């Protein structure tokens, strides 16, 4: 036999020791119990009248009259911080289905909500700069364009020329500083109806109403950033492409690509830092992709040919030659360097072609040596980027 009083005391201790708030009311809406958690939630209220007044408010707001049990959520400020609570409501009946009482259990879900918000933030934002990431930029830009159908918008894309060299010369930490400052610059371009994101590595993007763009201000900010990271070993060059959105049915990724195309057209122009997209740039971009896509196979198939331009003295006697490359394209015929060298330079593939030409020059010198022409030389081109990728000295000695 277990005395009822013992069970009652035991249950009372268990309830009071709960981490959840609990408050109970009898059939006449009188508060018969509340624990310390409830007092803390409602600013240390120790008045039965307070909970009886709240009881009527809860029932009306949550529509509890029609339910014997229900779960709902609410937010309450506790100690100056908004906290999320899951509330379980339950009505109790006796064996004859007479209503006896009802109670509320307050379960604090704040940590769970904060963890979910943190995970959501990590999934939609860049960890280094705090800006939106690429996928979230696409989502929010699409929503922005739908929200303001009568407003002209532009996509602005920024890039830092040869940014990987910053990391290689100065280290990752310095590179991150540059990216953070670049993110601040891009965020400063924003207006009330604009979205900013870090798209990839050193590429950033802003979707902004055309009327809010101030190109003079953008140029000033770029110049300030260049001065901030001025160094004798490396000159920071930031360039931006602007695409005025013409067709809102296009994907946001396509819009961003067009802004990128505009930016890439001035990556070797140190006098300009802003370029606007037009359809001619798309044709250039397609041509560049064709060249890059066909390059490796063309190199493997021996489609690149070395031509030699004689170098002579004032008497007309030849002392050597300059190596000139031509591309014997299977469909387009003989292509001059104008058609492919700049593209390979910008895409970082030029070192492969340079290495190929050096090897060809060495083979030709070997042929001349066998013919007794030891005093002949061949001049070859070396891209400045080769020095960051190849061991020039080691290659030439070999």
Instruction: List, for residues 283-304, the tens digit of each pLDDT value.
Output: 777 788 888 899 999 999 999 9
Cα dihedral 173/195/270/339 (nearest 10): 110
DSSP state of 352: H
Least confident of 87-101, 155-169, 325-339: 155-169
CA dist 29 and 25 (Å) reads 5
CA dist 132 and 118 (Å) reads 14
Between 281 and 118, where is the model more confident? 118
The pLDDT of residue 196 is above 80: yes
Comparing CA positions, the residue from 214, 209, 213, 240 lying closest to residue 225 is 240
Phi-psi region of 235 (alpha: psi -120 to 50; beta: other; left: phi over 0): beta
Q: Which pLDDT band holds residue 45 (cuts at 50, 70, 90)? A: low
Q: What is the pLDDT of residue 334?
A: 93
Q: What is the mean pLDDT of residues 210-226?
A: 87
Tokens of residue 33, six digits = 């119990």
Contacts of 29 (CB under 8 A, 6+ apart): 52, 55, 56
Is the distance from CB of 186 to CB of 199 less than 8 angstroms? no
pLDDT digits (tens, 9 = 90+) for 352-371: 999 999 999 999 999 999 99
Is the distance from CB of 152 to CB of 144 less than 8 angstroms? no
CA dist 276 and 263 (Å) reads 8
Contacts of 170 (CB under 8 A, 6+ apart): 231, 234
To which residue do tokens 């469909």 refer? Answer: 331
Q: What is the pLDDT of residue 13?
A: 66
CA dist 61 and 234 (Å) reads 65
Q: Which pLDDT band holds residue 7 (cuts at 50, 70, 90)? A: low
pLDDT digits (tens, 9 = 90+) for 53-93: 888 888 888 788 778 889 989 898 888 889 999 999 999 88
Q: Which pLDDT band holds residue 342 (cuts at 50, 70, 90)? A: confident
Contacts of 260 (CB under 8 A, 6+ apart): 157, 159, 203, 241
Beta strand 238-244 with 274-276 is parallel
To which residue do tokens 């509340």 refer? Answer: 34
CA dist 341 and 353 (Å) reads 9
Comparing CA positions, the residue from 194, 210, 211 lying closest to residue 244 is 210
pLDDT digits (tens, 9 = 90+) for 136-166: 999 999 999 999 999 999 999 998 887 877 8
Q: What is the pLDDT of residue 138?
A: 95
Other beta carbons within 10 Å of 173: 8
To which residue do tokens 């591309």 refer? Answer: 327
DSSP, collapsed to helix, strand or coil, labels residue 36 as helix
Between 391 and 44, where is the model more confident? 391
């Amino acid at each position: 036999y277990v005395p009822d009083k013992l069970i009652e005391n035991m249950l009372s201790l268990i309830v009071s020791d709960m981490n959840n708030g609990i408050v109970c009311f009898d059939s006449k809406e009188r508060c018969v119990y509340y624990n310390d958690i409830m007092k803390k939630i409602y600013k240390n209220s120790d008045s039965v009248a307070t909970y009886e007044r709240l009881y009527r408010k809860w029932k009306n707001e949550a529509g509890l009259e029609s339910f014997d049990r229900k779960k709902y959520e609410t937010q309450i400020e506790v100690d100056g911080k908004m906290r999320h609570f899951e509330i379980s409501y339950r009505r109790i009946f006796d064996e004859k289905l007479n209503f006896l009482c009802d109670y509320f259990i307050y379960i604090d879900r704040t940590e769970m909500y904060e963890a979910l918000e943190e995970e959501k933030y990590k999934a939609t934002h860049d960890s280094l700069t705090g800006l939106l990431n690429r996928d979230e930029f696409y989502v929010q830009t699409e929503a922005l364009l739908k929200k303001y159908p009568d407003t002209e918008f532009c996509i602005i894309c920024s890039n830092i020329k040869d940014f990987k060299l910053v990391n290689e010369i100065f280290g990752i930490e310095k590179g991150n500083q540059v990216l953070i400052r670049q993110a601040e610059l891009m965020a400063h371009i924003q207006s009330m109806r604009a979205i900013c994101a870090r798209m990839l590595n050193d590429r950033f993007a802003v979707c902004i109403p055309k009327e809010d763009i101030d190109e003079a201000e953008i140029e000033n900010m770029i110049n300030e950033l260049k001065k901030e990271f001025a160094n004798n070993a490396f000159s920071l060059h930031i360039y931006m492409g602007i695409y005025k959105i013409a067709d809102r049915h296009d994907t946001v990724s396509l819009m961003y690509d067009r802004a990128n195309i505009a930016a890439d057209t001035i990556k070797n122009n140190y006098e300009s830092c802003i370029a606007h997209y037009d359809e001619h740039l798309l044709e250039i971009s397609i041509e560049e992709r064709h060249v890059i896509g066909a390059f490796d196979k063309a190199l493997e198939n021996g489609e690149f040919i070395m031509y030699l331009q004689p170098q002579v003295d004032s008497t007309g006697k030849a002392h050597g030659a300059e190596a000139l490359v031509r591309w014997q394209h299977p469909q387009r015929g003989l292509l001059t360097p104008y058609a492919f060298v700049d593209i390979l330079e910008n895409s970082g593939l030029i070192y492969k072609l340079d290495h190929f030409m050096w090897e060809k020059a060495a083979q030709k010198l070997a042929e001349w040596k066998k013919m007794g022409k030891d005093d002949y030389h061949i001049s070859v081109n070396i891209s400045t980027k080769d020095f960051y990728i190849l061991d020039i000295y080691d290659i030439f000695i070999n």
